[in-house]
Amino acid sequence: MSSETYRRSSHPVDADHQAAIDSNNELLASFPARRLTAEELRDSMLAISGELNAEMGGVPIMPEINQEVALQPRMIQFSIAPAHQPSRTPAERNRRTIYAYRVRGQADPLLEVMNLPNPNESCDLRDSAAVTPQAFTLLNSDVVTDRSLAFAARVQSDEPSDTQAWIRRAIELAYGRGATPAEQQHLHAYLEQMRQYHAEHSPEPVEYPTQVVRSLVEEFTGEPFEFIEKLNVYEDYVPDAKPWTVGADTRALADVCLLLFNSSEFIYVY
């Protein structure tokens, strides 16, 4: 890692010359940019938002995943598998992704779309293709928007009242550098626009379900029947910050934080 080759910039000294003699960069004249792996992406968002529990070892945890996927019926040995129930507290479920329990028949949508290997097959090389569902997931997933809200709350805690300072701090946390004048100007203008929007629009609260109705067919008679599956974890669940639990300014800043999470500079290693 201390070698000159490893530490090369991803920007070629002479891009035209390099493209002419080594278009695939096989000689490593410049650093080959790569996208963060699925695990790195989730862990990075948790670290920047201040939510990451870096505790080492222990039993597997159940992170929050898309609610529709978590509750969808799954057949297993001629019956229905239990629904995905996340670990009760943020400290438990917001640990590093390496500690996330993996169910073969129920992939985490965020990790799956970011090319986490299928646990049913050997994987000697990960696919790193960029596809449209990745953009939709990173912009619209509840998991990512929750991280954006926590990111915004952290920034506001560090810089309580100065909106210009919010932008500087957010850039510093996301990119590990200072904001450029253009970034400061454009992101602050977007922040003010979102502050006005959220001041006029309040989100509707969404309750966690405590049970779900399942349907099956009786094996011998063929008659359908229903039963209730209890979701006990939600009886005393400790949720992450949600849009309806924070103020308009935090929601507006979270929109800025969401942009940073979706930027190439955050998603790629250069």
For residues 169 and 109, what is the distance between their CA atoms, to the nearest angstrom?
30
* Sequence spans of domains, the chain: 1-32, 35-269
- pLDDT at position 211, please? 94
Pairing of strands 34-35, 75-76: unpaired
- pLDDT at position 11, please? 86
Q: Which long-range contacts (CB under 8 A, 24 or more apart) does 231-234 make?
A: 231/83, 231/85, 232/85, 233/85, 233/86, 233/87, 233/88, 234/85, 234/208, 234/209, 234/210
Bridge partner list, 35:
268
pLDDT along the chain (270 residues), means of 10: 85 90 90 91 97 93 92 80 93 95 88 88 83 92 96 95 94 96 97 97 94 87 90 94 96 98 93
pTM above threshold 0.85? yes
Phi and psi at residue 152, in whole multiples of 5°? -60, -40
Q: For the chain, count helices (H), then strands (E).
A: 11, 6
For residues 164 and 63, what is the distance between their CA atoms, to the nearest angstrom?
34
| Region of 95 on the Ramachandran plot (φ > 0 left; ψ -120 to 50 alpha; else beta) | beta
For residues 63 and 110, what is the distance between their CA atoms, to the nearest angstrom?
11
Question: Is-contact 110 42, C-beta < 8 A?
Answer: yes
